[in-house]
Structure 1
Amino acid sequence: METEGKVIMCKAAVAWEPGKTLSIEEVEVSPPKAHEVRIKIAASGVCHSDWAYLYDDAKMKTRPFPLILGHEGAGTVESVGPGVTKVSKGDHVIPLFLPQCGQCERCLSPKTNLCTKNWEQTQQCVLADGTSRITCKNQQVHQFIGISTFSEYTVVPEDNVTKIHPDAPLDKVCLLGCGVSTGYGAAVNTANVESGSTCAVFGLGTSTQTSLRSPRLLEPLSL
């Protein structure tokens, strides 16, 4: 059935309140607005940040609820909103919690990639217009860092999406959105590790592998 331009009903793991396990719910995902992309999520990693914003007393106070967590994902573009030029329907993509507009001062600087595009909005778990594209039981469900990969479909800003090779395994490249890139950046940009270097690595693995040990977060994710 053609879904472009229509609300999609799908499953998602919803955090209704802090400190509580996730609940599998049927949610409604609206079509993308201007400069937005709707993605059919194929795979998602679980990062320590997901756990922290659900169970850590300090962090949970900085995010609104109800909330759909998840920011390490990979999937296929289901549809695009007006003005989107970077990706097309059918592209395999990774949603990024750090945007890359390519125009702001930080994007143009060689010292940082902390793009300012929609930053304040996504930190409040909404998109550019101050709302979410996901609802459940007649109420808005916030999108974690503007992404929400713990949903079968999600809508993200165009600048928060990167196209990948169609042959890349989606269940593996989903980790590139956070865990892998964090470790790579630490080694190459911070530690300045060069080709041929001899290194000692402590705590091998990404934050995803660490947080997979948390049964409180993962147990309700079995659909």
Structure 2
Amino acid sequence: MEGALPVPVNMTQDELKALVGQAALAYVVPGTVVGVGTGSTVNHFIDALATMKDRIAGAVSSSVASTERLRAHGITVLDAATVTSIPVYIDGADEIDHSGHMIKGGGAALTREKIVADLAERFVCIADESKLVEVLGSYPLPVEVIPMAAAQVARRFERQYGGQATLRAGVVTDNGNAILDVRGLRITEPLAMETEVNQWPGVVTVGIFGRHRASVCLLGTAAGVRTLTF
């Protein structure tokens, strides 16, 4: 299902991100804790969330960068270990298909994003229309790995899926690990591939969000904000 909200013409991509960030406020439940993701689109959501900071109980953040931005706005950030559940998690995506499956991890926060998403009853994805795809895989698949396993995991991607994995240079995750970016994939069964790769020794998290797929996507387009429900 989908709907659309009108938007002025000739908006820039950044303005569209701000629009979906603002639209995501409609999914925040007053008086509760909200899950907050990572990235440029989420930054706009955090800025919008500051306008209602006195009406929420706080936020659980998926990255150091988001935590710093939330606190700069005076929003209370809670440790995920102290929270048993949250009504909604709001985050972006590098790709999302028409079933709500996503590739995430362009900002290297995929593991913490899954942890917060697992606390949430609902995942609301905010993105621009370029992120909507028929089949996942055009965007390189991020995989957080224990550094000593990076070469081993890369060889296994090539052997099992025909993917070419390269180490993301100069990147260390908030958890102290490395990121592999895997190109040349066509992910037709996201949940099955996520389940498989997550079992490989040395893999911390693969950036396929199949089990934690979106239930709603707010998509910024030239025609307005499209609301996709899955």
TM-score by length of 1: 0.28
Structure with more helix by fraction = 2
TM-score by length of 2: 0.27
